[in-house]
Structure 1
Amino acid sequence: MNKPHVVILGGNFAGLGSAQKIREYADDSVDITVIDRKNYLLYIPNIPAEVFENKDPAEHLTLDLYPVLKHDDINFIQGDVTGIDVDNHTVAYVPSERPGSATQSLRYDYLVIAVGARLAFDKIEGFAEYGDTVSDFYYGNRLRKKLHDGSYKGGPIVVGSAKFHQGNGADGLEPYPGGSIPRAMAACEGPPVEVALTVANWLQEHGKGDASNVTITTPGKMIAEDAGEKVVGQLLDAASSMGFNYLNNTGDIVRLTADSIEFENGQKVEAELKILFPDWVAHDFLKGLPISDDQGFIITDLLMRNPKYPEIFAAGDCAAVTVPKLGAIGHQECEIIGRQIALDRGLLTVEAANQALQPVVFCIGDMGGGKGFYIRSNAWFGGDTQILKMGRIPYLLKMQYKTLFMTTKGKTPPWGNEVAEFLAEKF
């Protein structure tokens, strides 16, 4: 008798995490196949640190998927997913190892969609010519060269986010009593906070200015609103004391020129460097499906199942419930999916498996100079926790987590967050 086939679309954090958790909880009761257009995991969170230290992130921040998945008897296909037929339980993909391949079809019994989101830099006029970011190796190295080869002359810097167009797929969900999945004006603003703090430290170290050279912008009422008003207030007080400039309620980013950035609210700010984080949009092949919301993000309940097609799950940035688009929430979702499939296979009890998502903003960022910030908060979703810590321990935790992730091939021990909480919050 054939085992149920679990097909996972995407092999970065949410895809790899889902595959590993399904194998952990469902054991050998299922066959698992992961499809991704690239054959490695891109370790995105540490790209800024590499850039400002003048290191090539491509040398240190990849994890080869083939041997990692093979170790757990998980199949891997390198291919571009082009379509999902939810009624016939099939996925269409084009093998991407070499150009010119014919479209293939793969049948599933369970489908986990973990393809992330598309970063819409193309929606920002002038970004190709005048914009910078730290979202991947290409852009990271482009910014690194500007900073370290003398191209950057010490002029003003803007760090900010474009407006996020959130779908309606999480409307009505209540992760905490009386709470909700709120509407976000920016997809994730931990990275711009991190980059702004780090670039200010870099300016001082290189004799090119200080925080007063840097303007932090947000399309929303306040930056990093998902961290909670108390934490944001503490962050803004610290930023103000350092000399940062701050603009909120800018609306979307409209246009970049060689020496400026223009916003939807009519403001125009001088900037030699524009380090930006774009709108995060759903992949085209997800739009218009009966499992997708009005923006193309995958609708799930708090057990990460689609209500109409309960054999379909979503995790990470492509899931409508993942707001903000934060890795820590994706990890929580992978755990839930692994337990749900194990429940279906009769390997877990209902009580053990049905632990619904209660999202927590868990963010550790670099500040430069061997210091970092640590945020643990669920207040945005209706919880009662808001914690911010700054200092050397958060920096060490961020760097050591990367080492731990790479060493364990993504299988960070369950006590990792508990140790991080203890060290960051008690010392």
Structure 2
Amino acid sequence: MNATDKKPHVVILGGNFAGLGSAQKIRQYAGDAIQITVIDRKDYLLFVPNIPADVFENRNPAMHQRMELRDVLAHDQINFIQAEVNAIDVDSEMVHITPNERPGAAAVTLSYDYLVVALGNRLAFEDIEGFAEFGDSVSDLYLGEQLRQKLHFGGYKGGPIAIGSARFHQGDGAKGLEPYPSGSIPDALAACEGPPVEVMMAAAHYLAETKQGDPSKITVFTPAELIAEDAGETVVKQLLDLATQMGFNYLNNTQDIKRITQDGIEFADGRSVEAELKIIFPDWKAHEFMRGLPISDSEGFVVTDLLMRNPKYKNVFAAGDAAAVTMPKLGAIGHQECEIVGLQIAKDLGRLSPEQADKPLQPVVYCIGDMGGGKAFYIRSNTWFGGDEAVLKMGHVPYMLKMQYRTLFMHNKGKVPSWGLDFAEMAVEHHIPK
């Protein structure tokens, strides 16, 4: 192959759900017209959604919730580099990285024709005073295993439990976007609150199973007016009615976490709650090197239109949590964005027409949360963005879908079947009574 035959190069920063999904969709739609390189600091995908179930059901999440990336990507002729991303130069179309398999590697510069930023976010636990000493979470394998050890091997003494979010600081990168007629991408005070709702339900079942108490021992809190506000007011009110009936304690408008102590949590609004266990979901921040870039918003998230393309640098895309438009920071919305990225790049390469490819993002919140006891809640809603659909179902079928989705995801090397969401809707929405 001579220089004139060289294929355009797509560099994808990040290899978790949005990075892997973007790479696979680009390959699916652009075929062999392009070369693809994925860069990630780790060589596995972290399957975050099922960590809480492992924790409460006494399984080490490190043994179940990861998928090796190298073989998965090689299956689609996608290159992989394990490295830290140091900087992006969008004017020179270069990415600066340092391979991190062993300490002391030399820095490397990669050029790209297309850049997809799918770096996810930084979980800002270090911003929460007292978290390291007194806090817990289910956000990764390490923290999940630490909490599992407490719950099942004597660390937890049966005291009160507090579960909730620190304040999220959202940038201005999605201002003016209207995914639905007369809708918008709202401002949020929490990055994603399906997980706190899931954990509170699973914790209540754990207390009952271990004969240590009931939901009255659990306080769930949010910095916002409503917890899980991204699910839409209709769904949230149903969830809150259920939580009240079950006996949970609820604090809203806490503004932020001021500090965590051995005895509980102090909030920015002056209130506090007593708790032995403090299960926290922190602020989600952009990576530091993303701040101040011409593609980034006021908080370092990547500005895009609803076709996931940066308005100023047309060869730069974003998907998943790194994109300013992704609000809430939710895997299902990331999957929707990966599809768009793949279609757009294939269009640029002449593989698809604008009529086939130009399908703007209309975000839908899909959330399945473990409730313990082989049950889960299922949410499908777009009302927060200006849509008109809001569904909440609960039972054994959503739990089965949550567990089987992970199995299918791993078996299919991360490729979500095109019929997957349709099947989920049919299985849950048409077989569970209102």
Query: When the two structures are superposed, what TM-score results if normalisation uses the length of structure 2?
Result: 0.98
Following TM superposition, by how much is the alpha carbon of 1:103 offset from its aligned partner in structure 2, in angstroms?
1.0
Deviations 1:232-288 (A, max 9, x none): 000001101111000000010010000110001000110000001000000011000
Residue 320 of structure 1 is matched in structure 2 by: 324
Match status 1:72 vs 2:73: no
1:7-18 matches, within 5 Å, as 7-18=11-22
Secondary structure of residue in 2 paired with 1:410:
coil
Matches of 1:27 and 1:284 in 2, distance apart?
A: 34
Q: Tell me which amino acid in the other structure corresponds to 1:280.
A: W
Matches of 2:244 and 2:265 in 1, distance apart?
A: 22
Secondary structure of residue in 2 paired with 1:73:
coil
Following TM superposition, by how much is the alpha carbon of 1:77 offset from its aligned partner in structure 2, in angstroms?
0.2
Unaligned runs of 5+ in 1: none
Secondary structure of residue in 1 paired with 2:84:
strand
Work out the number of aligned pairs and report it: 427
1:369-384 matches, within 5 Å, as 369-384=373-388
Following TM superposition, by how much is the alpha carbon of 1:102 offset from its aligned partner in structure 2, in angstroms?
1.3
Match status 1:342 vs 2:326: no
Residue 157 of structure 1 is matched in structure 2 by: 161
Residue 392 of structure 2 is matched in structure 1 by: 388
Residue 299 of structure 1 is matched in structure 2 by: 303
Matches of 1:168 and 1:313 in 2, distance apart?
A: 17
Q: Tell me which amino acid in the other structure corresponds to 2:320.
A: G
Residue 104 of structure 2 is matched in structure 1 by: 100
Following TM superposition, by how much is the alpha carbon of 1:69 offset from its aligned partner in structure 2, in angstroms?
0.4
Residue 58 of structure 1 is matched in structure 2 by: 62
Deviates more, 1:51-60 or 1:14-23: 51-60
The match for 1:408 among 404, 407, 412 is 412
Match status 1:109 vs 2:113: yes
Secondary structure of residue in 2 paired with 1:215:
strand
Q: Tell me which amino acid in the other structure corresponds to 1:370.
A: G
Secondary structure of residue in 2 paired with 1:261:
strand
Residue 417 of structure 1 is matched in structure 2 by: 421
Residue 127 of structure 2 is matched in structure 1 by: 123
The match for 1:26 among 23, 30, 33 is 30
Matches of 1:198 and 1:100 in 2, distance apart?
A: 43
Secondary structure of residue in 1 paired with 2:110:
strand
Residue 289 of structure 2 is matched in structure 1 by: 285
Match status 1:252 vs 2:280: no
Residue 237 of structure 2 is matched in structure 1 by: 233
Following TM superposition, by how much is the alpha carbon of 1:130 offset from its aligned partner in structure 2, in angstroms?
0.2
Following TM superposition, by how much is the alpha carbon of 1:42 offset from its aligned partner in structure 2, in angstroms?
0.5
Match status 1:139 vs 2:149: no
The match for 1:182 among 168, 181, 186 is 186
Determine what percentage of the aligned residue pairs are the same residue: 67
Matches of 1:153 and 1:85 in 2, distance apart?
A: 52
Matches of 2:368 and 2:408 in 1, distance apart?
A: 15
Displaced runs of 4+ in structure 1, greater than 6 A?
Answer: none
Matches of 1:110 and 1:323 in 2, distance apart?
A: 24
Residue 358 of structure 1 is matched in structure 2 by: 362
Unaligned runs of 5+ in 2: none
Query: When the two structures are superposed, what TM-score results if normalisation uses the length of structure 1?
Result: 1.00
Secondary structure of residue in 2 paired with 1:333:
helix
Q: Tell me which amino acid in the other structure corresponds to 1:412.
A: V
Following TM superposition, by how much is the alpha carbon of 1:412 offset from its aligned partner in structure 2, in angstroms?
1.6
The match for 1:40 among 41, 44, 57 is 44
Secondary structure of residue in 2 paired with 1:387:
strand
Q: Tell me which amino acid in the other structure corresponds to 1:45.
A: P
Following TM superposition, by how much is the alpha carbon of 1:170 offset from its aligned partner in structure 2, in angstroms?
0.1
Residue 200 of structure 2 is matched in structure 1 by: 196
Residue 330 of structure 1 is matched in structure 2 by: 334
Matches of 1:11 and 1:265 in 2, distance apart?
A: 38
Deviations 1:346-379 (A, max 9, x none): 1111011000000000001100001000000000
Secondary structure of residue in 2 paired with 1:241:
helix
Matches of 1:173 and 1:382 in 2, distance apart?
A: 11
Following TM superposition, by how much is the alpha carbon of 1:139 offset from its aligned partner in structure 2, in angstroms?
0.3
RMSD of equivalent CA atoms: 0.4
Matches of 1:412 and 1:379 in 2, distance apart?
A: 25
Deviations 1:20-45 (A, max 9, x none): 00000000000000000000000000
Matches of 2:398 and 2:78 in 1, distance apart?
A: 34
Matches of 2:284 and 2:119 in 1, distance apart?
A: 12
1:78-93 matches, within 5 Å, as 78-93=82-97
Match status 1:273 vs 2:273: no
